[in-house]
Structures are given as structure tokens and as C-alpha cells.
Chains A and B, each alone.
Chain A
Amino acid sequence: MNSYSIVAEGLGRRFGETRALDGFDLRVADGSVCALLGPNGAGKTTAVRVLTTLARPDSGRALVAGFDVARQPAEVRRRIGLAGQEAAVDEILTGRENLEMWGRLHHLRAAAARRRAGELLERFGLSEAADRRVRHYSGGMRRRLDLAAAFLQAPRVLFLDEPTTGLDPRSRTEVWRTVRGLADAGSTVLMTTQYLFEADQLARQIAVIDGGRVIADDTPERLKSLIGGDHLDLVVRDPARLGDAVAVLTGVAQAEPVADADARRLTAPVRDRVGALTTVVRELERRGIEVEDVSLRRPTLDEVFLSLTAEAAA
């Protein structure tokens, strides 16, 4: 009967003059992964803090696992796990001691806490480092230990605030694998991120947040088609030919190409990746326009925002 693990309706939260949340609406279905995507200061952490009962909303309401975060915080707390922006690991303890401690604080008996710690260390790929002090762990290992602690009692809903920020690419991949594992185990996951690519990797639902409100909420595919999929970049050798190159690119682009005259660079969103690339290269050659670089890439978060805010204004 209760098919949404997270329901937020018109959440508002001010800090002095700043509206950290300003009419924040979100629904996340049971058992799914939702990425809350937005730049620094968009309100991601505030949203997570309100949903995990750490901060009170000024207005609106939110249900997590079916319970009101403001009126039934104790019920919510029994059903959620939180991995905050900082890894809340204890450097002086070993990885195993960390998890045993959180297990005991989740009121498992000593033997059960030990067993659960062993299980989680195995599952999060930390068995080998289990008895080393966390002080000697890499950034990725700390993160995974923190995720293991958040997952300790196999919560209905997991909140992960920027779980990969500050990690090197390899650790990031490890954390991604971990997050997928958490979702496969049945938890509903709300994670925040600043990277469209990361959201695309992990989530079937991406909610884009800006200025404390969700400005787009869709599947990655629809969101990408909304914002024009991949981008084609090209750098022209001769600045005088920039205008000709714009004409070529306009033929395949979904939107007006953006030109940066100083860098002799053109950018435009394209839909048919390989088709567009082939056409552009052939046309440039036919017209004798020399290029230094041609590349296809995913849109950056800035471009996502530009097109979404343009959409909203139109």
C-alpha cells in the first residue's frame, strides 16, 4: 500500500536569509535508487538532513519509510541508514571494531554484532584490512567502511551524501559497486552527487536540485534527451573559419552551437552520436576546414543546468 519510501512535499528550510530548501518535492519508489544531483550549495545536504531527522523543516512535510520525519522521528530512525558527507569512521579503532561498535549501538548482542561485522567486512571487500586501524585505510576503504556502518541493520532507506566526493577514480568505482550492492539487497537509496555521469551510472531516477528545489526529476534517458544527450566539441585551427564551422555543426546539432572565439572552440548537443560525428567530419573535410580536435562527451553539470533553467524560463 505504501509504494514510496521517500515522499517530500514542499519542504522549506531557511538559514537566515538563505533558503536552503525552497519548496522541495520528491518521491522515491520502494527499492529504487534515486540520485539527487546538484552543484555545491544547491541544498542537497540540507535535504538529506531533514529526511534523516537531523534538521527540522520550516514548512512542508516528509515521510520516510511511511513515517513523518518531524512527528515520528524515532520510527524513522529505526528504518534508515546514513552515510554523511564526512566518513564517520573511528581512526583509532580497527575496521572490525568500528562495525562491532555500531552493531552494539544498534542493540545487537555481542556475538551477533561480531557476526554482522564479519559479514559486512566480507561484503564490502574489507576482510583483509579488517584488523588494521582505520588510520591506515585509503579514502575509498574509509568510505566503504562508512557505507557498511550505514548499512548495518539492513535499513529500509539509505541516505548517502556525496559518497564519492574526494575519491580517486579507482576508489570511486569501488564505491559505485558497493552502492549497487546495497540497492540489490533491497534498500531504497537516496544519494547525492555533483556528477551527472555518476548519477547516470547508479540511479534509475535523477532529481536535479537547484536553489533548494527539484527542477527536473526523471529517468536518466529522458533527462538526457531533454538536455540534448551528448555534446560534440570541435576546435578549429583558423579562427577565420569559425563561422563556417558553426554552419556545419548547426546541421547536426539539437540546439544552437555555442562558440568560444578565443579558444576557437564550438560546442553543441547532438542526438545521434556516431552519425553526427561522421557527418561533421565529412562536411569539414569537404569544405576544407582544418580542425585541431573533435570529440564527443557527456554534458557537464553546468550544461545540464543551463538547459534546464532555460527550459524552465521558456
Chain B
Amino acid sequence: MSALAAPDAPPRWDERLRWTLSDASVIARTNLKHWVRNPAAVLNLTLYPIVMVVLFGYVLGSAMNVAGGGDYREFLMPGMFSQTMAMGVMTTMTVVSLQTARGVTDRYRSMPISRPGVVLGRAFADIVNSVLELLILLGCGLVAGWSWHRGIGDALAAVGLLLLLRFALIWVGIYLGLALTPEAASAAWLPLLPLTMLANTFVSPALLPGWLGAIAEWNPLSATVATCRMLFGNPGRQGDSWAAEHALTLAIGWPLLITLVFLPLSARRYRRLGG
């Protein structure tokens, strides 16, 4: 191979499409390989849901009431599913900021690589990761006595909404990952975790003091949680704010809005990285 061989003519649209798919699959597979080869990550992924279900479902759950009545663990599980999806933003953010610090992002940007391909690969790997996380969590829930009561169709719709939220948060993760150092990114769970709890994840907003309850009802996460409870047929009476009454609309609307805002923002940040 001679160094001076001129590259071929610029690619046609069909070839570009093929490259996008091939780049996406290479990046997704590399990411999944990372994850499989990192025992700590695998352990984390399986142990975290078990610990959380035991901690919240059994230890704290014994003292918890569900507004409108019902079993606390039935109430809890949709909250845990949604929280796990929301915290998934950490995974995206950490990987992206590490790659940026190590110059991998710069090499991508200096190559004739398909930019949508890079992002699609990232998104695919993160979604696969989240699907596995969700499956493990569903299993834990079933063991703890949680179940769905409205048929498999509604249950699958709920899973779809959960993944929609995760998908929207990929763009937030990419945006923050490009903006933050790896140290800052790994510390981000600290502000993030309370945000996922200041919602209807673990308690009914109706039981919170007035203003906290209002924030909790409008938290984007609450819309997903409430809709999942409804679709799974789990207990948990909603408040009577507009947000609570339009949970389904918001469970679709919030992720779309987040995507609409953060997808262009992260694309712009990627193009202009470091000036």
C-alpha cells in the first residue's frame, strides 16, 4: 500500500449509508466488548438492582404507605425501572468524557468516519446495556412479588416508554460527556440521584409538602413512572395537577422535547469541540 495512493472519488449516498451502518456496528460492538470485559461493570449491573429492591422494597418499604392504598413493592418497581433508566445517563456521560479526554473523540473527528454512525453506535450500545439492566430488574421485581396485571401488550408499551426515556437521555449524556472532564462526569451522580428521587419514584407526591410535591409532579421522570404504573396495573393514585392528569402525553412529550433540544446541542458541541 503506497502512502501516496490517492483516495477514491468521494462516496455516493448509498455507500455513505453503508458506512454509517458499518461504523455504528463497529462502535456498538466495541462498547459492548468493553462492558463484557469489565467484571466490575457486570457485577454492578446485576447487584445494583438486587440491592435496591431489597433496600427500598423490604428495609424502607416496611414503613412506606402508598397514597390510595396498595402494596408498596407493587408501587415501587415502576419507580425503580424509571430511575435506573434515568441514571443510565451516567453511563453515556462517563464513556464519552473518557473518550474525549483520551483523544479518541479527536481521532474520530479527524477521520472520514460517519458522524451519525458514531452516535448511532453509541446509542445502540447504551440501549442494549439498558435493556439488560431492565430485564434483570424486572426479574428482581417478579421475585419480590411485583407483577403486571393488564396483559403483555400494555407491559411491553411500558417497557417501550422506559427505553424512550433512556434514548432521550443519551443526548444529554453525550452533551455533558463532551463538556465535562472524566472526574466531573463521574461525580455527576451526586446532583443526579436526588433529582431522580424528587419525583413519584419512591413516594406519592401527594404525601410530600406542597412545593416539593409540585416539583415532583412536574419532574419528567414522574410522567414515565406514573404511566408505567398505569400500564402495568400497579397501584399509585395520581395527584390532580395538569401534569398528573396528562402523564401519558408527558411520558412521550418529555423525551421528545429532551431529544429535540439536546440532539442538536450535542451535535454542535461535537463539531466545535475545543474550538
A: which residues have CB within 8 A of B?
13, 15, 31, 49, 52-56, 74-75, 77-80, 82, 84-90, 92-93, 97, 101-102, 104-107, 116, 149-150, 153-156, 185-187
Tell me if A49 and B2 are in contact (CB < 8 A): no
Does B246 have its Cβ within 8 Å of any Cβ on chain A?
no
**Known contacts A78-B7, A156-B4; A54/B106 CB under 8 A:** yes
Q: Which residue of A lies closest to B272 (CB)?
A: A56
Nearest chain B CB to A184 CB, angstrom units = 9
Nearest chain B CB to A302 CB, angstrom units = 29
A280 to B38 CA separation, bound complex (whole angstroms): 64
Q: Which residue of A lies closest to B273 (CB)?
A: A54
**Known contacts A92-B33, A92-B38, A93-B30; A105/B113 CB under 8 A:** yes
Tell me if A13 and B109 are in contact (CB < 8 A): no
Tell me if A56 and B109 are in contact (CB < 8 A): no
B: which residues have CB within 8 A of A?
1-5, 7, 10, 19, 22-23, 26-27, 30, 33-34, 37-38, 101-104, 106-113, 272-275
Tell me if A186 and B107 are in contact (CB < 8 A): no
Tell me if A154 and B2 are in contact (CB < 8 A): yes
Q: Interface SS of chain B: helix, strand, loop or mixed?
A: loop
Tell me if B273 and A104 are in contact (CB < 8 A): no
Task: A74-B112, A102-B107 given; name 12 further pairs at CB < 8 Å.
Answer: A54-B109, A56-B272, A74-B10, A77-B111, A78-B112, A82-B106, A88-B102, A104-B23, A105-B23, A106-B113, A154-B2, A187-B3
A185 to B4 CA separation, bound complex (whole angstroms): 9
Identify which of B30, B103, B272 contacts A101 (C-beta below 8 A): B30
Identify which of A85, A105, A149, A150 contacts B26 (C-beta below 8 A): A105
Q: Interface SS of chain A: helix, strand, loop or mixed?
A: loop
Nearest chain A CB to B224 CB, angstrom units = 32
Tell me if A101 and B26 are in contact (CB < 8 A): yes
A150 to B111 CA separation, bound complex (whole angstroms): 10
**10 interchain pairs (CB within 8 A)?**
A53-B110, A55-B275, A77-B112, A80-B110, A101-B26, A104-B22, A105-B27, A106-B111, A106-B112, A156-B4
Tell me if B274 and A49 are in contact (CB < 8 A): yes
Tell me if B7 and A88 are in contact (CB < 8 A): no
By a CB distance below 8 angstroms, the chain B residues around A105 are 23, 26-27, 108, 111, 113
**Known contacts A53-B109, A56-B275; A92/B5 CB under 8 A:** no
By a CB distance below 8 angstroms, the chain B residues around A78 are 7, 112
**Known contacts A54-B106, A55-B274; A79/B26 CB under 8 A:** no
By a CB distance below 8 angstroms, the chain A residues around B27 are 105
Tell me if B107 and A82 are in contact (CB < 8 A): yes
Nearest 9 interchain pairs by C-beta: A186-B3, A88-B103, A86-B103, A84-B103, A82-B110, A154-B3, A104-B26, A55-B275, A187-B3
A13 to B113 CA separation, bound complex (whole angstroms): 26
Tell me if B104 and A90 are in contact (CB < 8 A): yes
A87 to B104 CA separation, bound complex (whole angstroms): 8
Q: Which residue of A lies closest to B118 (CB)?
A: A105
Nearest chain B CB to A75 CB, angstrom units = 8
**Known contacts A55-B274, A77-B111, A105-B113; A154/B1 CB under 8 A:** yes
Tell me if A84 and B26 are in contact (CB < 8 A): no
> Which interface residue of B1, B26, B30, B111 has the most chain A CB atoms within 10 A?
B111
Tell me if B275 and A15 are in contact (CB < 8 A): yes
By a CB distance below 8 angstroms, the chain B residues around A187 are 3
Tell me if A86 and B110 are in contact (CB < 8 A): no
Tell me if A154 and B5 are in contact (CB < 8 A): yes
A281 to B142 CA separation, bound complex (whole angstroms): 91
Identify which of B3, B26, B110, B274 contacts A77 (C-beta below 8 A): B110
By a CB distance below 8 angstroms, the chain A residues around B1 are 116, 154
A97 to B31 CA separation, bound complex (whole angstroms): 12
**Known contacts A15-B275, A78-B7, A186-B2; A107/B104 CB under 8 A:** no
A185 to B272 CA separation, bound complex (whole angstroms): 33
By a CB distance below 8 angstroms, the chain A residues around B110 are 52-54, 77, 80, 82
By a CB distance below 8 angstroms, the chain A residues around B111 are 77, 105-106
